[in-house]
Amino acid sequence: MSRQTGHERGELALIRRLRDRLVPPRAAAGGVPFGDDMAELLPGAGEWLWTVDLLMDGVDFDSRRHEWRVIGRKAMAVNLSDCAAMGVQPVSALCAVCLSNRLSMDDAEALIAAADECGRRWNCPIVGGDTNSWDAPTVISITVAARPEADYQPIRRDGAQRGDRVWVSGKLGGSLLGRHLTFEPRVDLGITLARGLRPHAMIDISDGLALDLGRIMSASNVGVVLSESELAEVVHSDAERLALQDGQPASAHALHDGEDFELLIVLPPAVSETTARGLGLLPIGEVIAEPGLWQMGSHGDRTPIPLQGWEHFR
C-alpha cells in the first residue's frame, strides 16, 4: 500500500471501480468475496500449474506509443500463451500493478479491465491482486493458475525424440509491426493438441523460432534440421515487409524475431501430415540425435543456424 494519503484514497477508489468490473465467476455462494485478504479457488483434484510475467514500461512496452488497454491485454495474453504452450486450461489470474503517478484513474482502469477482459475470453478472470502507485514507470505483473483439461499430462519441453517432426501453428516474423500486441494466445489449439495428439514437446515462440527451438533441443538433448523450403512457407508477410525496410532476409525475421506467440510443436512421426495440417499446423523440420540447429537446402546441404533471438536487454 502507498503510505501517501492521497494515493491511498486513489487506490481505494480504483479498487472500488475494479470490484464492480472484476467479478470472479467461480466464487461459490458463501465463498470469499473479491477484495478480501486472499482470493479463493475451488481447486478439486489434480495438478495445478502456475506462470507469472512482469512487464515494465520502457522495457517491455512503451506507454508513449501504446494505449493502456492494449498493454493490459498483452500482459494477460503472454501468460495465456504459456498455458497454451503446455496444453493446459487457464483458470484464474492475479494482477499486481505499480502505477506511475502520471496515470489517470481512467488509464489505470483501462489497463486492468483490458487484462481481465482478455483473461475472461479464455475463462481466466482476474480474481485478486494489488495496486500501488509511485513516481516511476508503470510495472504490471500477472500470475495465472492453470490445469490440464482432462486426464493428460501437461506438455513439456524435454520429450523431443529423433525422428519426430517439428511444426508451427502459424506464420512467423515481423511481429514488431503490430502482431506482438494483438496476437491470439493459442490456448484452444494447445489443449486440442495435448488431448488428441500428445506432442512430445511444445513451447510458445516468445523469443524467436531459433531461440525457443533451442530450448526444446537443449531440454530434450537433441538437434533439429529445418527444411529451407518448408521454412519459406512459414515466413509471415510482416517479415517480408520488415525485410524491405531493414535489408535483412525475410527468413531471418521468421527465424529470429520475437513475440510471435505461435506454438512450436514436436509431434511423433506416427501423426499424419493430413491430421497436423488439418489443425492448421505447418511443418518446418525434423528432430535428429546430433545436437545443433541446421537448415537443409534442396541439395541436402546443411548450414548451422545461430541460436539468436529476442534479447530483453537490447
**Which residues in this chain contact Mg ion in the complex, by CB under 5 A?**
82, 85, 204
Least distance from C-beta 255 to Mg ion, angstroms? 18
Least distance from C-beta 302 to Mg ion, angstroms? 28
Least distance from C-beta 202 to Mg ion, angstroms? 10
**Identity of the residue, 109 or 212, whose beta carbon is nearer to Mg ion in the bound complex:** 212
d(CA 303, CA 251): 14
Least distance from C-beta 130 to Mg ion, angstroms? 24
**Identity of the residue, 49 or 181, whose beta carbon is nearer to Mg ion in the bound complex:** 49
**Identity of the residue, 164 or 212, whose beta carbon is nearer to Mg ion in the bound complex:** 212
Least distance from C-beta 72 to Mg ion, angstroms? 19
**Identity of the residue, 11 or 204, whose beta carbon is nearer to Mg ion in the bound complex:** 204
C-alpha cell at 215: 530450448
Least distance from C-beta 187 to Mg ion, angstroms? 13
C-alpha cell at 216: 526444446
**Identity of the residue, 18 or 160, whose beta carbon is nearer to Mg ion in the bound complex:** 160
Burial track 168-182 (b if 16+ CB lie within 10 A, e otherwise)? bbbbbbbbbbebbbe
**Identity of the residue, 68 or 310, whose beta carbon is nearer to Mg ion in the bound complex:** 310
Least distance from C-beta 57 to Mg ion, angstroms? 22
Residues in Cβ contact with 116 at an 8 Å cutoff, skipping those fewer than 6 apart: 21, 22, 76, 93, 95, 125, 126
**Identity of the residue, 94 or 264, whose beta carbon is nearer to Mg ion in the bound complex:** 264
**Identity of the residue, 204 or 286, whose beta carbon is nearer to Mg ion in the bound complex:** 204
Instruction: Give the up-direction half-sphere exposure of residue 91: CA atoms within 13 A in the CB hemisphere.
Output: 18
**Identity of the residue, 77 or 113, whose beta carbon is nearer to Mg ion in the bound complex:** 77
d(CA 254, CA 210): 9
Least distance from C-beta 19 to Mg ion, angstroms? 31
- Supply angle C-alpha 90, 257, 176, rounded to 5: 80
Least distance from C-beta 123 to Mg ion, angstroms? 20
d(CA 108, CA 2): 15
